[in-house]
Homo-oligomer: A and B are copies of this chain.
Amino acid sequence: MLDYGEKYRGRSVLITGGMGFIGSNLARRLVEIGQVEVILVDAILPDQGGNLFNINGIEDRLRLHICHLGDVQAIRHLVAGVDYIFNLAGSTSHIDSMNDPHRDLELNCAAQLTLLEACRHFNPRAKIVFTSTRQVYGKPVYLPVDERHRIAPPDINGIHELAAEYYHLLYHRIYGLRAVVLRLTNVYGPRQMIHHNRQSFIAWFIRQAIDGGVIELFGEGRQRRDLNYVEDVVEALLLAGASEEAEGEIFNLGSDNPVSLAKLAAELIDLAGAGTIRSVPFPPERQMIDIGNFYASYRKIEEMLDWRPHTPLRVGLARTIDYYRTYREHYWYGNQGSISRSEATAPGDRD
C-alpha cells in the first residue's frame, strides 16, 4: 500500500462534516501523520453526526469552523488555498429525507454546489474526495455489487447523493477539478452518532447491546450486509486523496464477509455481555425502502489503490463497544456536547 503520509505532510486539509463520525476519525489520523494543517468545517446541526467531543484531545492541533456548507462567503474563504478537501458533510438519514425532502436537498445538493462552485472559482487545483453511499444502487440485481451495477436510488437521500456524485464528476470533467467519489457501505466504529436510530442501524444495535436493551430485527434479520470499520474507511479516503489516478473515478468500499443482521446482533450481545434480540415485522415505512441483501465488490479500489479492509468484524466491534462504554455520556443524549480537555483520548481507539 502506498505510504501516503508524504503526500499530506506540509499540506493543508479541509474536512467538511469534520466533527462527524468519519470526519473526526480522519482528522485524528491526519494529526497522527503529523505536520498536516487540519481544518474542520461543520455546522453541528441537531441530529446530524457532528459532536464536539469527537475532537477531544486533538482540539489544539486543528482549526474548527462552525458554519454551514451553504454559507457562500465562508466556504469560499475556507476552500481557497487548501490542498485537499475531504467532502463528508451531508445528511445520510433515509427516513429524515422522506420526511423532509427539501431539507435533504439543501444539505446534500445545494451545499455541495456551493462547495464545488467555490473550488471552481477559488481553488480549482484542490483534490476533492467525496463520500457517497451504496444507497445509490438501490435493491441489488446481482451480488456483490460492483461500480457498473445499475443505479436505482430507493429514497430521497439516495437521489440527492447520486446528484452530488454527478456534480463532482461533472466539475472534474468540465472544469478539471481533481475529484474522486467513494461509495461507502455500512461504516461503524467510535464517534458515530448513536443517540437516535435514523442514521445507522449498526450504531443503534451497538447502543442496545451496551444498554442491555432489545435489538429489534426486521424480518428475522436475515438481510446480509457488508460492514467497514471506520479506520479502514479513513485509509481508503487518504489513499484516494493521494492518488492522481483516482481522479474522476468512482470506487466502492466493501468487505469480504457480509454478515446477516441476526449474526451481527448475536455477536454484539456476546461481546457486550448484554442485550437481547427480538424479531419484529417490518414497519411499512422501512419495508418500502428496504433493499434486502447488499454487499459490494471493492475489487476496483483494491486493484487501483491497493486498498482492502484490515479490521476483522469482531475486533472492530469490540473496540467500538469499548469506546462507547468509556465515553457513553458524550454520545447517548445528542450532539450538544462540549469539549472536555481533562479527559484522555479514547483507549483502544487507534491501536
Which residues of A line the B interface, CB within 8 A? 98, 101-102, 105, 109-110, 113-114, 117, 151, 153-156, 159-160, 162-163, 166-167, 170, 173-174, 288-289
Contact = CB atoms under 8 A, between A and B. Distances in A.
A156 B174 CA distance: 11
Nearest to A167: B159
Contact of A110 (B102, B113, B155, B167): B102
Nearest to A151: B151
Contacts of A162: 163, 166
Contacts of A117: 101-102
A245 to B, nearest CB: 21
Given A105-B109, A109-B109, A110-B105, A98 B156 contact: no
Contacts of A166: 153, 159, 162
A81 B144 CA distance: 46
A117 B159 CA distance: 16
Given A101-B117, A105-B113, 4 more contacts: A102-B110, A102-B114, A159-B167, A160-B163
A334 B113 CA distance: 29
Nearest 8 pairs between A and B by C-beta?
A159-B166, A101-B113, A163-B163, A174-B288, A159-B163, A102-B113, A105-B109, A153-B166
A114 B289 CA distance: 21
A154 B173 CA distance: 9
Contacts of A167: 101, 156, 159
5 contacts: A101-B113, A102-B114, A105-B113, A162-B163, A163-B163
Given A102-B114, A113-B101, A113-B102, A159 B153 contact: no
A133 to B, nearest CB: 15
Contacts of A114: 102
Contacts of A170: 153-156, 159
Contacts of A105: 105, 109-110, 113
Contacts of A159: 163, 166-167, 170
A130 B160 CA distance: 19
A321 B157 CA distance: 46
Nearest to A109: B105
Given A160-B163, A163-B163, A98 B288 contact: no
Contacts of A98: 174
Contacts of A151: 151
Most buried by B among A101, A102, A109, A110: A101
A105 B107 CA distance: 13
Contacts of A289: 174
A170 B155 CA distance: 7
A312 to B, nearest CB: 37
A110 B163 CA distance: 13
A155 B163 CA distance: 11
Nearest to A174: B288
A7 to B, nearest CB: 29
A227 to B, nearest CB: 27
Nearest to A289: B174
A117 B105 CA distance: 13
A71 to B, nearest CB: 13
